[in-house]
Homo-oligomer: A and B are copies of this chain.
């Protein structure tokens, strides 16, 4: 931390700040500038809430120097990138050269529906099946998902297709239940700072697809990822799904620069969700291509056999035909950046 003193701060005030820093178990180092004094803090202050020093007399403001996250930080693995395997076999591994695509409908609408959808996304080339059994709906009167029945339908779809399944968990009490059926648990954007859920997922024994909160900055995001990691689960995949801005042509603003920046700061793989990231099916293919070109480690794409009859999120779901075309295109883009995005059949 650096404590910036006000112009005209007295020596006593600088001493007062230094004393407070010493009290915190850290070492103050005052520096006399041309116009201002700043006090540098020596010591590991990542877990110290130094902003309270703002209240000491003569302080103008407090600036943080060290990153507040630890286990998610690049340094934690000595620079080595984490690989996260989902399901059995090598069909869906995040963090390697191959870029897997998770696809499927927003909601599990029924057993036949999910089986049908699963087969179609598999045929299109996807590497994992997504589908919501527990839906966090903005509107309390809207369809909330089929719950455990939905999980069973997903398991049936996995049995039928071999695709690992990715599904959301929305409350700590459901983590064990969901982990019994799913190959990967998703934490959604609205729960990105539901810390009890993060902790529970840290003990789930299954990989986590952890979506960024729509107004979290990356420091906050990686700190929150530490909740999962610190609870014992090393298999965390980050997911950028759009942030909230003034922009109104898309449901969210897909901040693709998060990809290289997270790669710079963290060892965790990063998936892009262009469906929620835009909210419109017509924007999904271009943004999926852009995501791979930006260096992401995977994609999550909503796909529905008949979007205009989808129970949820129809506007942003592409059809299996569009997905199949897109997969071919993604494969070409991946090669252009020395990655691969081969259909499942070619990976295995």
Contact = CB atoms under 8 A, between A and B. Distances in A.
Contacts of A29: 31
Interface in A17-60: 20, 23, 29, 31-36, 38, 40-44, 46-47, 49, 51-56
B196 A170 contact: yes
A255 B257 contact: no
A22 B267 CA distance: 36
Interface string A218-241: 101001101100100000000000
Contacts of A140: 195, 198, 223-224, 226-227, 230
The SS class assigned to the A binding surface is mixed
Contact of A44 (B34, B278, B286, B314): B34
Contact of A217 (B248, B260, B310): B248
Which residue among A46, A52, A136, A314 has the maximum number of chain B CB atoms within 10 Å of its CB? Answer: A52
11 contacts: A2-B65, A38-B40, A55-B314, A138-B223, A173-B196, A190-B195, A243-B246, A246-B246, A249-B257, A250-B261, A336-B336
Contacts of A180: none
Contact of A293 (B49, B227, B292, B307): B292
Given A40-B31, A62-B315, A337-B289, A142 B253 contact: no
Interface stretch (A88-96, A122-130, A156-164, A327-335): A327-335
Nearest to A220: B138
A52 B257 contact: no
Interface of A: 2, 4, 7, 20, 23, 29, 31-36, 38, 40-44, 46-47, 49, 51-56, 62-63, 65-66, 68-70, 75, 136-142, 170-173, 190-191, 193-198, 213-215, 217-218, 220, 223-224, 226-227, 230, 243-250, 253-261, 264, 277-278, 280-283, 286-287, 289-295, 307-315, 317, 329, 332-333, 335-337
A81 to B, nearest CB: 15
Contacts of A290: 256, 290-291, 293-294
A70 to B, nearest CB: 7
A212 to B, nearest CB: 11
A283 B254 contact: no
Which residue among A264, A286, A290, A291 has the maximum number of chain B CB atoms within 10 Å of its CB? Answer: A290
Nearest to A142: B47
B261 A253 contact: no
Given A52-B315, A254-B257, 9 more contacts: A33-B41, A33-B66, A34-B43, A36-B66, A171-B171, A289-B295, A290-B291, A332-B337, A333-B333
Nearest to A292: B293
